[in-house]
Amino acid sequence: MKKICIIDYGLGNIRSLYNSIKKIGFVPTFYSERKNENFDLIFIPGVGSFNKASALLNSPDLKSFLDQSKKDSVIFGICLGMQTLLSKGFEGGEHKGLDYIDGRVDRMSKKLILPNIGYQKTFFSDQNYFSFLKKFNNEKFYFVHSYAANVKNKKNILAFTESQDLNYCAAISAERIIGTQFHPEKSGEIGLELINEVVKNI
């Protein structure tokens, strides 16, 4: 049985994610309950602001746990959790991210209606660390956000989407790191299938 951890750092709809993981047959553990264990997969959920999330995740204990874990575990950031995987973000000023993937998080164009909310068709690449997710190409996932990821190296773009005539990054990845701007746990059966696919392939 794969060992799964959810980082319960005060930001994010962790109950929804917890229930989704249980639906696919796994029982996740919260970081606050088992800080010293090793895990196969670690989720960083997130709903809120980059400045608050970065401060919490870069606290000495949590950052040390994540830095050590990414050597052997897969780390999966969702929405704001995905954004924190990048080098820095500009919500509430400039703030340092976890810096696991080179890039930055910027507010989306003022010409758009924000926050950007709804189901959007998502296009996955097969030239990536998580190429097995190509099976989800053209599927629709649920988005809700006002900031978007801009990665420096295009090889780190796992998927993209389009909203209000703007094409932008929908998922990122590197070795043992994956993040989705969309919420798989709020995307119905297709979202559960994506989570299950990640768990099976790690």
> Which sequence positions are flagged as catalytic?
79, 183, 185
Render the burial of 27-42: b for 16+ CB within 10 Å, e for the rest: ebbebeeeeeeebebb
Tokens of 178: 């994956």
Sequence-separated (6 or more) residues with CB below 8 Å from residue 133? 124, 158, 159, 171, 194, 197, 198
Q: How far is CA 87 from CA 126, 173, 188, in A?
A: 24, 14, 31
Distance CA 68, CA 65 (A): 5
| Secondary structure of residue 140 in the 3-state scheme | strand
Distance CA 7, CA 189 (A): 23
**Number of CB atoms found within 10 A of residue 201's CB:** 11
* In contact, 3 and 39? CB cutoff 8 Å: yes
